[in-house]
Structure 1
Amino acid sequence: MKKSLKLCLSVALMVLSFVSVAQEKRTDANIYGHVIADGEHLPFATISIEGTTIGTAADETGHFQIVNLPLGSLKIKAQAIGYKSQVVTVEFKKGESKEVHFDLEKDVLGIDEVVVTGDRNEKNRTESSTIVNTLTPKLFTTTQSVTLSESLNFAPGLRMENNCQNCGFTQVRMNGMEGPYSQVLINSRPIFSGLAGVYGLELMPANMIERVEVVRGGGSALYGSNAIAGTINLILKDPVNNSYEFSAGTGFVGVGVDGAGDAAEDYTASMNTSLVSSDGKTGLAVYGFYRDRAPFDANDDTFSEISSLQNTTVGSRLFHRFSARSKVAVDFFNIKENRRGGDKHSYVEHEAGIAEALEHDITTAAVTYDQFFREKDLWSVYVSGQRVDRDSYYGAEQSLADYGNTKGLTYTLGSQYNAHFENSNLVFGMEHVGETLKDKKLGYLDVDNATVNGEGEIVIPHTDNTIVADQEKNTFGLFTQYEMDFNRLSVSVGARFDRYSVKDKDHGDKETGNVLSPRVTLKYDIKEHLQARASYSKGYRAPQIFDEDLHIETSGSRKVLHENSDDLEQETSHSYMASLDFNKKIGNTFVGFLVEGFYTKLDNPFANEYGEADANGTVIYTRVNATEGAVVKGLNMEFNVVPSDKLSLKGGFTIQSSKYEEAQNFGQKDFFRTPNEYGYFAIDWKPTKNFGFSTTGNYTGPMNVEFFGVSLPDPDAGTFIKSDSFFDLGMKFRYNIKLNGAKLQLYTGMKNIFNSYQDDFDSGVERDPGFIYGPLNPRTIYFGIKIGNLL
């Protein structure tokens, strides 16, 4: 690993030899013009020069200007969300200014939008060898998603769930597989650590995200381990124009819920601004987010079902162009969060009957250098990292022994080259990903064992800090992918080789492995509006404890801890996917329909063996390999109908089966907490220029859920129940008011109108906190305001 780290560092240092800080010579070759659509000027469209880092954005009147362009023949590209891009070729000479006008055609189905996740390369959605679903700020607005977790239910094959009554630990399941099977990326980099991921999806504010790209299955060949089910790539906002936006909102969680405690207040505020220099060489985006949510008690037993939450996020993104073909981008953000569940929220943690309390300090930074070669070849060198410092308390019955501290660091060093040829593309690179984690129990004054010495003085012993986990993981990867176009057929062949080591410093154990993950995809354009795709990919998960095992289920009767079996082996997957993607304008209506089948065979899949409680009520869940494997298969469907620019309908549905090949706990083959069907829809209607209405829905089918409640004859043995189905319906109203060069938006709405919410929560100090399922929130009313020049 040291050699691979040195190799990556040496490549990163090579960047210095390519960076020229000298000022470019002024050519006085300029371009100016406007962008229109349907006869009207289109504000804030993006104008870029292909094969360079040069770009700008049209102003609010739809006009643009770029000065001192390189001389010669240049391809000028105009693009905007909801419109097809347009490219014109212009010849530039020294001292000449050219006027260029763009007339963009609507692309309401998003088939021409640029995506990067499918192939680690910028491509139009229809050209990508894999299906890429995009969640945009428009969807965040339609669904009133203030954090990432609230929006992920609105993509095919994805389902968000809450796994703990006490602290609100959430995870996203993709194609029927639990959270650790999906790779969460930030700007295409795998630095979203397992420690951050335990609560991180609820911590990432939507206002810092430009879009979310979702690739189901097949990502492992390019992104490494934990991409068996797919990848979720968070693309942060770029400074492309001078803009600003501020919003503030208030929500009331649990309004009018029978048998519940008082509704919980939920206050949010966010801001975004970006500035770009007059020459377009430097830009800065700054964003901030604040949230304060009170706890909610669904069954009025004084113990919360939804935890309290205070979140403050600040961040920025900076870019600078050294030349027309080189650029550096810097990202930084910090999240500070406090959350707590249980009872007696106004008391210190160890005075409560149950308390699960977390204080997070998450700092993320990244630097990327891009250099163009030849006409459009792009070389990128990047380094990024995420540091997590977490203070925790998982305790019950006034225990002093359950305070802890966890520190984690994840970093990535890598280099990638994208080569473009006449009818083919080649991507290759290398990456070193390192993770460290140290989890410890903090010492305390043991008052219960106090003694009196010979002089009559009270002596209170002090316990020492105890190391629970001290782990280190290093992965060095080499990846490549070659794509060839044969008329209507596109063939993409790729592979990634990973050498990983997982070291447990506390126990002296070390696991190593070499993994080759191939990937093959085929795309065939049956018609211009109909595409067929098929793919095979191999993936893996290494035996480690960097995920939800760092969450501890706590009650007055039992505490659940996780550990790996001594002979736990690497898990391997074989994934097959096939899809048909239809997008066409029929009359005046745009229609899109996607049907996608998936089949994943898991060899040596991870499964839990439930242990028996010891004298202190501690239960060990041991991760083992299921000897006969598992199969996850199903069908994702998505539709998109846009009859006019005032009305859009979007929805998706998944039918699936997730089973071990031999019975596991409680004699069941089905994966727990995995419904066989689930889906969503979102409708947005804008009857007038300033008034808009949206309605959304999420359906969750029945599923098996484990239960270890004290009401059972043998709580330690537990049982399982078949849950009800749920339908979460929401509505939102918004109204825009013109304010000179900006707009003021007023909005109000309700989520889960019919309160389709779990009604059989366990209660009291000895409740089973893992017995929670269904929608994330009960009936919730909200309202707020936004102001900005991009609304």
Structure 2
Amino acid sequence: MTEKQNLIWKKLVYLLTGVFCFVSFSVQAQKSEVQGVILDNREPVPFANVYLEGTTLGTSSDEEGIYVLKNIPEGKYKLKVTVLGYNDFSKSISIGANEKLNIPIKLTATSEQLEEMVVTGTLKAVSRSESPVPVEVYSPTFLKKNPTASIFEALQNVNGVRPQINCNVCNTGDIHINGLEGPYTLVLIDGMPIVSGLGTVYGLSGIPNSLIEQIEIVKGPASSLYGSEAVGGLINIITKNSLEAPDFAADAFLTGWGEYNLDLGGKINIGKKTDLLLGVNYFNYDEIIDNNGDNFTDLTLQDRISVFQKWSFQRKENRIFSLAGRFFYEDRWGGELQWTPEFRGGDEIYGESIYTRRWEVLGKYQLPVKEKLLLSFSYNDHAQNSVYGNVPYLADQRIGFTQLTWDKKVGKHDVLVGSALRYNYYDDNTTATVSADEVVIPSLFVQDEISLAKKHSLLVGVRYDYDTRHGNIFTPRTAYRWKMTDNDILRLNAGTGFRVVNLFTEDHAALTGARDVIVTEALEPERSFNVNLNYLKKIYGDNGTFATIDASVFYTNFSNAILPDYDTNPNQIIYDNLNGTSISQGISANIDAVFPSGFKFSLGATLQDVRQTENGVSRRQILTESYTGTWNFGYNFRNLKLSVDYTGNLYGPMRLPTLGENDPRSDFSPVWSIQNIQFTYKGLDNFEFYGGIKNLLDWTPNRGNPFIIARADDPFDKNVTFDSNGDVVATADNPNALTFDPSYVYGPNQGIRGFFGLRYRIN
């Protein structure tokens, strides 16, 4: 290890020793107290007010529903619990000297209390069980089970969703949903499609967890509501409103590799009718580590900052008006260990250096009329200055979006009518972009959710887009929901999607300089047809146990699919419209359970088949696993104020981009798994201390392979011999006839490492 790494580990040991000493001392020093967990028969109730009537003794439950009242004098009291949306709880108790009482509390919801609300599937706020479109919801508590520096990394424990690193050197990546490539996933912030193409991975970084209300994920095409890019699914990051946000929250952690992450968030009241949410995220990693011995950085060095703010304005009749903005800047580089900025763009020492500047603005304004008319708008500007070896890539992308929706209920019909206008601008310095691509796409859409009977509803909708490059585009969809019982829901969804492609905003492998990029034709929009059958089961136990089973069968068929061809010529990436079919199909299931004892678990599994068929030949899609598994086991030791979370994932073999028959690297990945454990101590008011180990198995993708990066010792191919046809000639120095290629990547190069962090929150 370097001296800096040794210093980091020493600090980590001192911090952990101090925490455990504090735990031991506090356990011994405690006096009479009352503790327990607050449940609503489904899950923990966070931030409930707990107090002893007639005294000044009070507290609130944490995000796990756990409460602790300390330093209680001997006597008789009335324990009271109040929280918005639930009936008040009251219980007479008697406590002796130095006595500890464990009193679990079950609350009953008021008639106004709804289960988790979702908006992504229909553009309307409805309870999750009432939505005709299956929506998966993940709270900030889920993100804390395995703390990461970005939502991009946190999604590794969501079933059917996989963060894919696309470049061994620069470590940029995208999100795969049900085995589909990252460009098929649309990322939203508060329902606004401000993240696409060039900015996908950056849209999942830099928003403090303390300001995130929930993350909603829809699997399958959503183009009928959101337009292009929403072909395979979408991820909607919903930020808190001012009533739910903490007054101040801080979260900082470091790892044994030298990664530092800081999240700050809070709210400010400006006058009586204006609230401001402010968040800052800073991440830094500047250690040069090469554990696999190829003279290339195992992890890209990064220095980034993101500033987020959201203004909310109170208006008459509770009409909506909010305005948010975010600024993001990042400097990252990876490459040969000897690389320094003066080698940027040259051909002496290989490095990939990316400067990214991005800003975004988005807002919602409900018109001051009797009808429910909502105007939404967003704009983002993304500038990227990067070099891949001696290949420069300078790009600008701007996306403007505005949308007006009218929401109206008439009898058994719940109608949503909308009009949208999207502005796309893209320009780069590559040969594939002869001139700037600038287009305005107007859209109209309508959907009607019909209440057929007490337990049956049907949603039908259609969207019309006009693209001057491709003409008229229609995307219909339908969704049927059958609420068989209060605890059993069956949903059937079918719809179409479309996507207009810009290659270089999506595939960093095309920019490494290792392969020539060949575009054989004018690329037409991709289209898809999807069917999804979903079953949701809720199980309530007599002892307070609550569980859900969520299972789906999915099928998506693509026409005009555009996928990179790494196989025809190992020195090229060939792009064209697939003259055949591309299919993604499979089954997926999640099981979640919460027990009064403090034990909870989540299990997920997906079996999938993603392949393309052209000219009678069928082939599995590259970098797509055949099965995945995810899990999270957690237990709260309430007497110790300590919780333990064990999280992990498992990925089946996936086909990898090798350089032909002579490449000694494996054509398929092995079965691999990343597992983590975390301990969280909550014994100090407003503070949480957490620490643990990531990648317990110390797994890295170089296992079983002679190397990961082909010809890492000759990244500019100066010693590679080519024949007259451009094919590589085998030589004594290059017996396998390879060229430099860092695109062989399917998992992170970081091995086992410890981490330690601290959270502070004022409500």
- Fold match by TM threshold 0.5: yes
**Contact 1:394-1:552 within 8 A present in 2 as well:** no
Report the counterpart of residue 532 of structure 1 in structure 2: 490
Give the corresponding residue for 1:170: 173
Shift of 1:278: 7.4
**SS across alignment from 2:620:** coil
Q: 1:394 aligns with which of 388, 391, 394?
A: 388
Shift in Å, 1:83: 9.5
Q: Is the 8 A contact 1:169 1:199 kept in 2?
A: no
1:312 is displaced (CA, Å) by 0.5
Change in Cα spacing, 1:570 to 1:403, as seen in structure 2 (3 Å) is: closer
Displacement of 1:421: 4.0
1:112·1:124 contact (CA, 8 Å) conserved in 2?
yes
CA distance in 2, matches of 1:561, 1:272: 45
Letter in structure 1 aligned against 2:230: A
CA distance in 1, matches of 2:324, 2:313: 12
- The reply on whether 1:302 has 2:251 as its aligned counterpart is no
- Supply the AA of the counterpart residue of 1:498: D
Summarize the alignment of residues 361-376 of structure 1 with structure 2, pairs less than 5 Å apart: 361-371=357-367
What's the CA shift for 1:342? Answer: 0.5
Contact 2:470–2:525 at 8 Å: present in 1 too? Answer: no
**1:474 CA drift (Å):** 2.7
Query: Are 1:270 and 2:263 matched, yes or no?
Result: yes
State the Cα distance separating 1:180 from its structure 2 match.
1.0
Q: For the Cα contact (< 8 Å) 1:529–1:583, is it kept in 2?
A: yes
Residues 44 and 379 of structure 1: CA distance in aligned 2, closer, same or farther (over 3 Å): farther
1:327-380 Cα offsets, whole Å, 9 max, x none, are 320101101101111012434224552111101111011121024765xx6321
Q: Does 1:571 align with 2:526?
A: yes
Residue of structure 1 equivalent to 2:727: none
The TM-score with structure 1 as length reference comes to 0.75
Change (3 A) 1:492 1:700: same
Once residues 320 and 720 of structure 1 are traced to their aligned partners in structure 2, the CA distance between those partners, rounded to angstroms, is 57
Q: Which residues of 2 match residues 555-704 of structure 1 at below 5 A?
A: 559-560=514-515, 562=517, 564-588=519-543, 589-610=545-566, 620-644=572-596, 646-662=598-614, 669-688=619-638, 690-704=641-655
Q: Aligned AA for 1:268? A: N
Equivalence for 2:415: 426
For residue 320 of structure 2, give the secondary structure of its aligned residue in structure 1.
strand
The answer to whether the Cα contact below 8 Å between 1:170 and 1:201 also exists between their aligned partners in 2 is: no
SS at match of 1:195: helix
Letter in 1 for 2:265: N
Aligned counterpart, 2:676: 730
Instruction: Provide, for residues 238-270 of structure 1, a one-character-per-residue CA deviation record: whole Å limited to 9, x for no partner.
Output: 222561111221112xxxxxxxxxxx3101111
Contact 2:510 2:573 in 1 (8 A): no
3-state secondary structure, aligned to 1:419: strand
1:246-285 correspondence runs (5 A): 246-252=250-256, 264-276=257-269, 279=272, 281-285=273-277
What is the 5 A alignment of 1:457-472? 470-472=436-438
Match of 1:359 among 355, 362, 371: 355
Aligned residue pair count: 640
Secondary structure at the residue paired with 1:738?
coil
1:127 aligns with 2:127: no
Cα pair 1:296 1:307 within 8 Å, conserved: no
Q: Any idea what the Cα deviations from partners look like across 1:721-771, whole Å, max 9, x if unmatched?
A: 0110112111001112434xxx11111111110112212323434442111
User: How far 1:298 sits from its partner (Å)?
Assistant: 3.5
Mapped to 2, the partners of 1:610 and 1:37 lie a distance apart of 53
Distance 1:780 1:200 in 2: 26
Distance 1:688 1:325, change over 3 A: closer
* Conservation of the 8 A alpha-carbon contact between 2:480 and 2:493: yes
2:146 to 143, 151, 157: 143
> How does 1:91-110 map onto structure 2 within 5 Å?
104-105=107-108
Greater displacement, 635-644 / 315-324: 315-324
In the alignment, which of 350, 373, 378 is matched to residue 379 of structure 1?
373
Q: Are residues 360 and 407 of structure 1, via their aligned partners in 2, closer, same or farther at CA, if it must alter by over 3 Å?
A: same
Change in 2 beyond 3 A, CA 1:546/1:491: farther
Q: Deviations over 1:103-136 (max 9, x none)?
A: 95379xx981011101100000000011111121
How far apart, CA to CA, are the structure 1 residues paired with 2:413 and 2:87?
20
**Structure 1, unaligned runs of 5 or more:** 1-35, 47-58, 63-81, 89-102, 253-263, 442-464, 502-510
For residue 196 of structure 1, the aligned residue among 196, 199, 219 is: 199
1:24-82: CA deviation from partner (whole Å, max 9, x where unpaired): xxxxxxxxxxxx9789x977579xxxxxxxxxxxx9769xxxxxxxxxxxxxxxxxxx9
Go from structure 1 to structure 2 and tell me whether the alpha carbon gap of 1:595 and 1:193 turns closer, same or farther (over 3 Å shift). Answer: closer
2:447 paired residue number: 481
SS of match in other structure, 2:315: strand
Task: Give the percent of matched residue pairs that are identical in Structure 1 and Structure 2.
Answer: 23
Q: Give the aligned partner of residue 713 of structure 2.
A: 764
Change (3 A) 1:372 1:550: farther
The aligned residue for residue 280 of structure 2 is 288
Paired residue for 2:247, among 237, 243, 248? 243
Match of 2:476 in 1: 518
CA deviations over 1:220-243 (Å, ceiling 9, x no partner): 211112212111111123222561
What amino acid sits opposite 1:406 in the alignment? A
SS in 2 for 1:706: coil
d(CA) in 2 for partners of 1:521, 1:284: 38
Change beyond 3 A, Cα 1:724–1:497: same
CA contact (8 A) 2:603 2:632 kept: yes
Q: Which amino acid aligns with 2:425?
A: T
Structure-2 separation of matches of 1:179 and 1:515: 22
SS at match of 2:148: coil
2:551 aligned partner, one-letter code: V
User: In structure 1, how many angstroms separate the alpha carbons of the residues matched to 2:514 and 2:149?
Assistant: 33
- Evaluate the alpha carbon distance shift between residue 242 and residue 785 of structure 1 in structure 2; reply closer, same or farther with a 3 A threshold: closer
The CA RMSD measured in Å over matched residues stands at: 3.2
Q: In 2, distance between residues paired with 1:466 and 1:599?
A: 33
Contact 2:206 2:305 in 1 (8 A): no
Q: Is the 8 A contact 1:111 1:583 kept in 2?
A: no
Given candidates 746, 760, 764, the residue that maps to 2:689 is 746
1:722 alignment partner, SS class: coil
State the Cα distance separating 1:603 from its structure 2 match: 1.5
Q: Is the 8 A contact 1:42 1:61 kept in 2?
A: no
Distance 1:299 1:526, change over 3 A: same
Q: How much does 1:203 deviate?
A: 5.2
Query: Residue 553 of structure 1: CA displacement?
Result: 4.3
C-alpha separation between the residues in 2 aligned to 1:208 and 1:440? 37
Alpha-carbon spacing, 1:409–1:700, altered in 2? closer, same or farther (3 Å): same
User: How far apart are the structure 2 equivalents of 1:354 and 1:545?
Assistant: 24
Structure 2 portions without partners, runs of 5+:
1-37, 50-57, 62-81, 89-105, 716-739
Aligned-pair CA distance for 1:292: 0.5
State the shift of 1:543 in Å: 3.9
What CA distance in whole angstroms lies between the structure 2 residues aligned with 1:87 and 1:372?
Answer: 34
Provide the rounded CA distance (Å) in 2 between the counterparts of 1:544 and 1:359. 20
| TM-score, normalised by the number of residues in structure 2 | 0.78
Map of 1:494 onto structure 2:
461
